[in-house]
A and B are shown apart, each in its own frame.
Chain A
Amino acid sequence: QKEVEQNSGPLSVPEGAIASLNCTYSDRGSQSFFWYRQYSGKSPELIMFIYSNGDKEDGRFTAQLNKASQYVSLLIRDSQPSDSATYLCAVGGSQGNLIFGKGTKLSVKP
């Protein structure tokens, strides 16, 4: 059973701090990695995707991928209360499927 693991949280950070969200996956053949944000009662929306080892930055968001460790993370700099949401890690499996983690709930306190 291919799995994607995330700490369910809640992760609480003060406004302006860096929020670090982590995800591990079991399928070593995975090729693509996605971070989605889901506000309560809403559908997931894509934040970033990453395919290669290393860092990928987009505004306040940085995705980090380490395929050897089967680990992907999302850093949110200068966290804002509006970043409070559940963050879903999704991994493209070697069999052409996309597997989601349970999500980490982030709370940014003013």
Chain B
Amino acid sequence: ETGVTQTPRHLVMGMTNKKSLKCEQHLGHNAMYWYKQSAKKPLELMFVYSLEERVENNSVPSRFSPECPNSSHLFLHLHTLQPEDSALYLCASSLSPTGPSTDTQYFGPGTRLTVL
């Protein structure tokens, strides 16, 4: 496989469930990101990992918990979510470990999350 992959592509969960989103990049990149995309709102950066260390947490509620075990994999652990957390969750990666501002980001296909 090439590029950035995400699983699952669709997820429906109740507010009391615990689930995890997975992202894998096959590009040899050093930085990985989680974004949230809600209807009629801009892409919102949630987390940034550079060389497997979290470098940014954009005031995300603690019910979202990221994990980056290595430079190719990124997880987003979900627990006790709210209906307003329903959105498209996008993973992205970029080559440079120095930060996202100047480096092209490549996106995965996203996970469409619905919280009931």
Q: DSSP class of B's interface residues: helix, strand, loop or mixed?
A: loop
Chain A 66-110 interface 0/1 with B at a Cβ cutoff of 8 Å (1 = within): 000000000000000000000010101111111111110000000
A13-21, A41-49, A53-61: which lies at the B interface?
A41-49
Within 8 A of A (CB), among B7-48: 40-43, 45
How far apart are A27's CB and chain B's nearest CB, in angstroms? 10
Residue of B41, B98, B105, B109 with most partner-chain A CB within 10 A: B105
Instruction: Tell me the complex Cα distance, A90–B100, Å.
Output: 11
Interface size on A, residues (CB 8 A): 27
Instruction: Tell me the complex Cα distance, A99–B101, Å.
Output: 9
Query: CB distance B42 to A97 under 8 Å?
Result: no
Is residue A62 within 8 Å, beta carbon to beta carbon, of the partner chain? no
Query: CB distance B40 to A102 under 8 Å?
Result: yes
Name 8 A/B residue pairs within 8 A (Cβ), A-sorted. Answer: A4-B42, A31-B101, A42-B109, A45-B107, A51-B102, A97-B100, A98-B45, A99-B42
